[in-house]
Amino acid sequence: MLSATFYERGYDHQVEIIHQHDAEARRRLESLQVSLYDRDGALLATPRVDPAGDIVDLGALVRDSTDARERVMVVFDARYDEAIFPYRPHHYAYLHRPRSPAPPLYYAINAVLGGVPDRVGATHINNFETYVFRRGPFDARYSVVLGCLARFVPVQVQIFTYYGAKRIAQEVTLPPKCHREVDLAPEHESERLIRVEIKALFRIVSYVVGRRADTGDLMLFDHLFTYVK
């Protein structure tokens, strides 16, 4: 399974390689390859990570293997023994800026390739995703962070935001391994942002992001939801 998240400097960002444990034995990945990419898709590093480990400290990983100061896309290529893992469990992550009053975040890392093993047999379209924002006044700036894990082709991504009955469309093209943050206006013609949708030919890396208006600290970092079943 190929999954990806984004690391920003200044955050404590810990990834649980295997969330699931059983009482009798620790379950391990067969292998794990990690790759780091900049916003334009340049490969920055392929640091070695022990597949038998529990936690990967993304801050240490990025600091020790790159001099990147901008956001880095971190790609996890995990291989599973099907006898040990009848399905392919997600990686999970903890995210917090030290000394920030914002609460820590815990989220499932976006699985982009191989999240639906053939034996599961599900054929739901999962490349249309949506996120509904909470009601009430915003005290945050919202955006989506998108990445392309294709090997050969770019992807055109449509981002639709809804304000009352109005819909605003944006489009971004992502070449292989590129990533972008797309800001979402909190209001349009005095109507509040209520929903965002992302559509693409194939599944991409996508997170909805909220930053505190006063400090910029992350207060939301989560996957969107598929709505075509």
Partner 1 sequence: MTPAGSVQPEPQDELLLCYCTMVTVGELRSACGSGRWPLPGKENTGKLCTGCVGDLLYCLARFGVSASL
Single residue of 10, 86, 104, 154 touching partner 1 by CB under 8 A? 154
Single residue of 55, 84, 169, 201 touching partner 1 by CB under 8 A? 201
Query: By CB under 8 A, is residue 33 in contact with partner 1?
Result: no
CB of 50 to partner 1, least distance (A): 22
Query: Residues with Cβ < 8 Å from 120, sequence gap 6 or more?
Result: 87
CA distance 117 to 1: 9
Straight-line distance from the first to the last Cα atom of the chain, in angstroms, rounded to the nearest whole number: 22
Comparing CB distances to partner 1, the nearer of 11 and 37 is: 37
CB 109 within 8 A of CB 76: yes
Q: Which of residues 2-31 bind partner 1 (CB under 8 A)?
A: 2
CA distance 103 to 219: 7
Query: By CB under 8 A, is residue 47 in contact with partner 1?
Result: no
**Contact range with partner 1 by CB under 8 A, out of 53-61, 157-165, 185-193, 196-204:** 196-204
Q: Which two tokens stand for residue 71?
A: 């956001």
CA distance 73 to 58: 11
CA distance 43 to 139: 36
Comparing CB distances to partner 1, the nearer of 78 and 102 is: 78
Query: By CB under 8 A, is residue 118 in contact with partner 1?
Result: yes
**Residue numbers of the site for partner 1 (CB under 8 A)?**
1-2, 111-118, 120, 122-123, 125-127, 149-155, 173, 201-204
